[in-house]
Amino acid sequence: MEEGIRINKYLASCGVASRRGADRLIGEGRVSIDGRTAQPGDIFREGSVVCVDGRNVSVQKKVVLAYYKPAGVLVSEEDPHAEETLMDLIDYPVRVTYAGRLDKESEGLLLLTNDGDLIHAMMHGSHGHEKEYIVHLNREPDNTVIEKLKGGVYLKEAGHKTRPCRIEKLKRNVVRMVLTEGINRQIRRMWSGEGYHVKALKRVRIMSISLGNLMPGEYSELTKEETDSLYRQAGLTR
């Protein structure tokens, strides 16, 4: 641990939250350093005692899990009305959180980790990390529409034009899509704007990590080779 780092970066290295999430915890007055309430921009120094909600936190061994999120599970830790959230289903001895969400109706690969720096690097849209999806539509897509979506379309609700993406027709009503950004409900919005309905959506790859043989609700720790590859692509060292 380097000497004299910002408190939000320290909390991220402890796996408490991403840096943005750590900033929120600090703003809510839930973080203390050596018994005093932490302030944004505070510096952590070796030997200091940091607590979140009164519980001491420290740097842990970094872990990354591949998890198959079932359809119908909410990826959230903050919705008090959710019947079943992701963290209710993960039985793992180290606290982990997700790098990039999937909406409740969607299923497939999530990467879970206690490394806030990795989460930050993976979720930063400007890095252009690939995410691959299998999309089932209510009817066969027109080739003209496919070419239009591949070039990028304006999403009124998001106030944003999507980046160019790859789309490959696999079956009559099924396509493979590879995106390099993560706008909320992006794929559903893209097809809805052209008059199509997404019946099912599965994410099968994030960067170099694939869903593989995992079944809904299962998770596995990444191998050393997989983890090293992921960190390299994220521009980080372990």
Angle at 190 between CA 176 and CA 177, to 5 degrees: 15
Q: Is 103 annotated as catalytic?
A: yes
49 SS3 class: coil
Check residue 125 and report its DSSP letter: G
> Would you say 121 and 127 are in contact if contact means Cβ atoms under 8 Å apart?
yes
| Rounded Cα distance, 13 and 1, in Å | 9
Say which of 42, 79, 103, 117 is annotated catalytic: 103
Closest by Cα among 127, 123, 98 to 113: 98
d(CA 75, CA 170): 28
Q: What are the CA-CA distances from residue 160 to residues 155, 181, 201, 211 (Å)? A: 5, 11, 22, 29
The catalytic site residues sit at: 103
